[in-house]
């Protein structure tokens, strides 16, 4: 992908209940799908994502917010030329629960990190990662990554990962 997209060009930002996203073709520079606080009973399937940051839950728990995300199914989707495939991100110091989240039958091509989970997410524009080993984090229950297949790309950073 030779295009450069600005940040915050999410394809879909889901924070509601009982939502179906189906048969989409998304090309962007941020999350293809981001599932936020309060999301329940969401299905995202039969879609293609190109560029950007893949299929994300979060970020959850910023500034100590209490997260509540439940019953999310992401299936039968391909991710191409992206930094991430499936990603979960919550902030240090956040609270709450993310439960019953499944990524299933995910094909990826030239993806640097097919599965990426962090509970120490931070705003890289504001400085280094916080040192907070005693902070609370969002609790995770029944998180499933099933049937992932494809190719991994070398990570060629624009910004270094810490």
Residues tagged active-site: 53
Both tokens of 67, joined, read: 């997260």
* Structural contact between residues 144 and 115, judged by C-beta atoms closer than 8 angstroms: no
**Secondary structure letter of residue 47 according to DSSP:** -
**Secondary structure letter of residue 39 according to DSSP:** -
- Tokens 């009973």, located at residue: 41
b or e along 46-69 (b: 16 or more beta carbons within 10 Å of the residue's beta carbon)?
ebebbbbbbbbbbbbbbeebebbb
């Amino acid at each position: 992908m030779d295009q450069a997209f600005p940040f915050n060009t999410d394809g879909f930002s889901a924070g509601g209940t009982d939502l179906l996203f189906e048969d989409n073709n998304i090309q962007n520079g941020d999350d293809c799908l981001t599932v936020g606080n309060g999301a329940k009973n969401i299905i995202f399937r039969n879609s293609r994502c190109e560029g950007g940051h893949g299929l994300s839950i979060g970020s959850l728990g910023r500034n100590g917010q209490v997260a509540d995300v439940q019953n999310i199914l992401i299936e039968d989707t391909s991710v191409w030329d992206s930094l991430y495939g499936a990603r979960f991100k919550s902030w240090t110091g956040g609270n709450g629960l993310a439960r019953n989240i499944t990524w299933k039958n995910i094909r990826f091509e030239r993806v640097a990190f097919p599965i990426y989970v962090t509970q120490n997410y931070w705003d890289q524009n504001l400085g280094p990662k916080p040192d907070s080993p005693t902070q609370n984090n969002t609790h995770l229950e029944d998180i499933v990554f099933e049937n992932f297949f494809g190719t991994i790309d070398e990570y060629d950073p624009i910004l270094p990962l810490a």
